[in-house]
Amino acid sequence: MSGSISVDYVSHQFSETAEAVLVDINLNVKAGELVSLIGRSGCGKSTLLHIMSGLVDPSEGCVRIDGKTVIKPSARWNMMFQKASLFPWMSIRENVALGLKFAGIGKKEISSKVDELLDLISLTEKADVKPRSLSGGQQQRVALARSLATSPTVLLLDEPFSALDTFTRSALQQDVATICRQKGITMVLVTHDIDEAVLMSDRVLVMDQNPGRIIDEIAVDLSWPRKHMNQDFQRVREKLLLAFKGTEKTEPPRTLDGGRHGVESSAA
């Protein structure tokens, strides 16, 4: 199983007159590595993730997954968003099976795969109910199962736990990181939660804003599973917090041609 990611000289602005959201982003993610992008609101981290997924074309540069240039979304690199976005008229089973159905997989194989995934997310007993019958955390579990159904090599996560309560969020953080490790799936997580980044990642990339760029890299050299109150966890957390505080700045934003103006960014 592969899943290496290469981001080469990626810059982006949403229009010719807007400020640069991202400038000269270069990063590599090894196959099976779990990486977090952390930064303040407006630093462009979600935009960068959308470029990685093929949902947004960069103004400059390119993204390659397994050596192939990303030009559109693919079942090989799936994305989870802040909202589960399940189809309300479909059962949980049908929602999970959707990608497999579009891929032309046979009914028997689909049924077997969906049963396996529902068991993995502990929702077998909810297979035939509609999404409205589930809690927010359960809906995100279904979204996770749907993302895993096509056996992706890369899982891109855009703050998928941010709207959940503390206990549900903690459980899903552990579950997603464990599944990615067990299956060898490469993970890139966008978050503004320092504890979440330390809990789930092998490496954390810190982004600055105006324009968005990577300014620091923190290795998370901790054994798995991780505990918040562990002394080594707190050591890495403090190191990351110090790097995050370094993103405060007062310079005005700039465009890709080096000019400066005061247009407000729409990047997340």
| 83 in a structural domain | no
The residue whose two tokens read 């399940």 is 86
> pLDDT category, 263, cuts 50, 70, 90?
very low
| 81 in a structural domain | no
The residues, ordered by sequence, that sit 6+ positions from 12 with a Cβ below 8 Å of its Cβ are 20, 21, 22, 44, 47, 48, 51, 56, 58, 59, 60
Judged on CB neighbours under 10 Å (0-12, 13-18, 19+), 117 is buried
> pLDDT category, 155, cuts 50, 70, 90?
very high
Residue 202's CATH number: 3.40.50.300
What's the pLDDT score for residue 128? 93
Domain boundary (145, 164, 181) is at 145
Q: What is the percent of the chain with per-residue pLDDT over 70, rounded to a whole number?
A: 91
| Residue 97 backbone phi and psi in degrees, to 5 | -80, -10
The residues, ordered by sequence, that sit 6+ positions from 216 with a Cβ below 8 Å of its Cβ are 205, 206, 243, 246
What's the pLDDT score for residue 106? 85
What's the pLDDT score for residue 256? 53
| 254 in a structural domain | yes
How many folded domains does the chain comprise?
2
What's the pLDDT score for residue 102? 79
> pLDDT category, 146, cuts 50, 70, 90?
very high
The residue whose two tokens read 């407006």 is 42
| 85 in a structural domain | no
The average pLDDT across 105-118 equals 90
DSSP-H helix ranges across 54-156: 92-102, 107-120, 136-148
Q: Tell me the C-alpha distance between 90 and 241, whole Å.
A: 43
User: How many Cα atoms sit within 13 Å of 150 on the Cβ side?
Assistant: 21
Owning domain of residue 110: 90-145
For the ranges 85-94, 103-112, 215-224, which has the lowest average pLDDT? Answer: 103-112
The average pLDDT across 2-13 equals 94
Length of the chain: 268
Same domain as 229, residue 166:
yes
Query: Is the pLDDT assigned to residue 242 strictly greater than 70?
Result: yes
| 84 in a structural domain | no
Name the token pair of 4: 């290496």
The string of pLDDT tens digits covering residues 121-137 is: 899 999 999 999 999 99
Q: How far is the CA of 236 from the CAs of 224, 232, 257, in angstroms?
A: 14, 6, 37
Q: What DSSP letter does each residue of 185-233 carry, written as one string? A: -EEEEEES-HHHHHHH-SEEEEEETTTBEEEEEEE----SS--TT-HHH
**Cβ distance 25 to 11 under 8 Å?**
yes
Same domain as 59, residue 180:
yes
Same domain as 178, residue 225:
yes
What's the pLDDT score for residue 254? 46
Report the run of H or E that residue 266 belongs to, with start and end: none
Same domain as 120, residue 95:
yes
Residue type, 237: R
Same domain as 261, residue 181:
yes
Same domain as 245, residue 182:
yes
Q: What DSSP letter does each residue of 8-52 carry, written as one string? A: EEEEE-SSTTSPPSEEEEEEEE-TT-EEEEEE-TTSSHHHHHHHH
What's the pLDDT score for residue 264? 35
The average pLDDT across 153-171 equals 89
SS3 80: strand
What's the pLDDT score for residue 164? 86
Same domain as 121, residue 158:
no
Same domain as 55, residue 157:
yes
Q: Which residue has the higher pLDDT, 71 or 99?
A: 71
> pLDDT category, 17, cuts 50, 70, 90?
confident
Buried b / exposed e across 2-19, counting CB within 10 Å, b at 16+? Answer: ebbbbbbebbbbbeeebb
Q: Decide: pTM greater than 0.95.
A: no
What's the pLDDT score for residue 238? 92
Query: Is the pLDDT assigned to residue 253 strictly greater than 60?
Result: no
What's the pLDDT score for residue 1? 61
Same domain as 106, residue 19:
no
Q: What is the mean pLDDT of the chain?
A: 87
The average pLDDT across 84-91 equals 92
